[in-house]
Amino acid sequence: MGTPDNMKDKAKDLAKDHQDVVRQGIDKAGDFVHDKHARGPFLADDSEEEADKQG
């Protein structure tokens, strides 16, 4: 392996070289969090039964 600083530099270089992929991943993660948050805490596990109980 390399030193932590060397690995950090490599990670930065990879992110810079693949900005489009990084951006897509961030967007996808944001959409996932938004979907989960918008549905409320009772639906965090995608359970429709909990929604029926809540009204």
Q: What is the pLDDT of residues 11-31, one digit of tens each?
A: 999 999 999 999 999 999 999
pTM of the model: 0.53
CB 44 within 8 A of CB 36: yes
Query: Which one has a higher pLDDT value, 30 or 2?
Result: 30
Tell me how far apart the alpha carbons of residues 45 and 55 are, in angstroms, rounded to a whole number: 17
Q: In whole numbers, what is the pLDDT of the chain averaged over residues?
A: 81
Category of 20 on φ-ψ map: left (φ > 0), alpha (ψ -120 to 50) or beta = alpha
pLDDT at residue number 38: 76
Query: Which one has a higher pLDDT value, 43 or 19?
Result: 19
Q: Which single residue is written with the structure tokens 């990879």?
A: 14
